[in-house]
A and B are shown apart, each in its own frame.
Chain A
């Protein structure tokens, strides 16, 4: 059975479909990565339109709390062998938004990140490097972030709830507001 799993992992590494969630300036690095200059399709990586079809979720840049909610929805809609790439220093420590009131600092508190790409901005070479690294990890069976999410769901959920409750509309909590006033 382990031989079969090795074969499956080998082919999973050769064919990874990517959904890019572009919130910040990082989106601009992706067109050169996809098109003729760097051509990521030669590794079997193609951009896909919806989370249902995708294997990789590429988060480029900062996540405001409201967008974090959408990212969590997107991640949970993806089908089981799925990996997350955190792109840019904003997903690692908040980057230039490190002291902002409505931007999260560390992405892997909320969803499991398999690989971080450091830099502000990472160049297309760095993205391709991360893809090749992810391919090696998948083929060795090391990239198991999606299993970690299922196992530690309570911890991730608690972290998500702690920040997401700040996105509740103010007018729904009118009695709280008036009490403070």
Chain B
């Protein structure tokens, strides 16, 4: 019993480290891609690892216990959500409600971060956080509609089973079976990752990087870790829901990277929207696609007879 627990603990730490390394690598490659689009040479793709190392070697200043606690409360739910995510063929904690669990924990992470950065008392971080939460109210609605249709389609909330139902080739993927839902999630993912045109929360030239304004040194390092793990988690859940999961870890991160690559390309060409424009956009096109998909699933699946 104790041995089993210890093995799970070590595996959990391993998954966390792997997610962090993948997220940092993706971020570094994205910087390189962005540089090449702008006809620059760009930093080395390991730059994010160097930045993280440097941040943890700096001194840092705290803004009270709520500030410290908020960073932990922002990071811990992300790690917890990773434990329920099927990564390749491996799931640390199989649970028959893992989908709901992950959605819930992802939202908790944002609320934890909000508590932390608002404790700093800087008006810019308050503006940034209010924008982040308003944007969340935007993209969570179409995302929830799509989750609802996946739930109805697969008749289960067990992610491993959803992945298993998509096995056996490209035509079985939910992306092909529910194209409208996939499109809605792809747009919502842009908002979740905070890339342009939905980067209102961390607009650097406008509100001095918003929530991160008072984070320095090790605290900013924690923010970077949180962003990287969040990147892994949010692309990972879309891979599991729509791209048929993966038989092993390498194919899993390859599929994640394809998703992230699209996000980066869109980020490179679009300007920033205003926050109310972004939210109302999420409540129009992606929500319409999501609800349409849910209706199609309901009619096809015979949940109600028309």
Q: Please report A residues at the B interface, Cβ cutoff 8 Å.
A: 8, 11-12, 14-15, 17, 35-36, 39, 41-44, 48-53, 55, 78-81
Q: Are A35 and B40 in contact (CB under 8 A)?
A: yes
Chain A residues with Cβ below 8 Å from B60 are: 79
* B12 on the A face (CB < 8 A): no
A52 contact set on B, CB distance < 8 A: 61, 213-217, 220
- A53-B38 contact in complex given A14-B50, A15-B54, C-beta closer than 8 Å: no
Bitwise, B39-81 to A at CB < 8 A (1) or not (0) is: 1111110010011011001111100000000000000000000
Measured in the bound complex, the distance between the Cα atoms of B44 and A43 in whole Å is 9
B208 CB-CB contact with A under 8 Å? yes
Also in contact, A35 and B216, with CB within 8 A (given A11-B53, A53-B209, A80-B59): no
- Which B positions have Cβ atoms within 8 angstroms of A? 31, 35, 38-44, 47, 50-51, 53-54, 57-61, 204-205, 208-209, 212-217, 220
In the complex, the chain A residue whose C-beta lies closest to that of B38 is A36
Nearest B-chain residue to A54, judged by Cβ: B216
Q: Give the complex CA separation of A11 and B52 in angstroms.
A: 10
Report the minimum CB–CB distance from B264 to chain A (whole Å): 15
Instruction: Please name 13 further chain A to chain B contacts, defined as beta carbons within 8 Å, in addition to the given A14-B50, A79-B216, sorted by A numbering.
Output: A11-B53, A15-B47, A15-B51, A41-B40, A44-B44, A44-B51, A49-B204, A49-B209, A52-B216, A53-B220, A55-B58, A80-B59, A81-B59
Q: How far is the CB of A39 from chain B (nearest CB, A)?
A: 4
Cα A8 to Cα B55 with chains together (Å):
11
Contact call B57/A8, Cβ cutoff below 8 A: yes
Nearest residue, chain A, Cβ from B48 = A15
- Is B208 a contact partner of A50 (Cβ separation < 8 A)? yes
Task: Knowing A49-B205, A52-B214 are in contact, say whether A42-B43 is a contact too (CB < 8 A).
Answer: yes
Residues from chain A with Cβ under 8 Å of B31 in the complex: 41
The answer to whether A39 touches B216, judged by C-beta atoms less than 8 angstroms apart, is: no
Q: Is the CB of A39 within 8 A of B41?
A: yes
Contacts of A12 in B (CB 8 A): 54, 57
Residues of chain B lying within 8 A (CB to CB) of residue A79:
58-61, 216-217
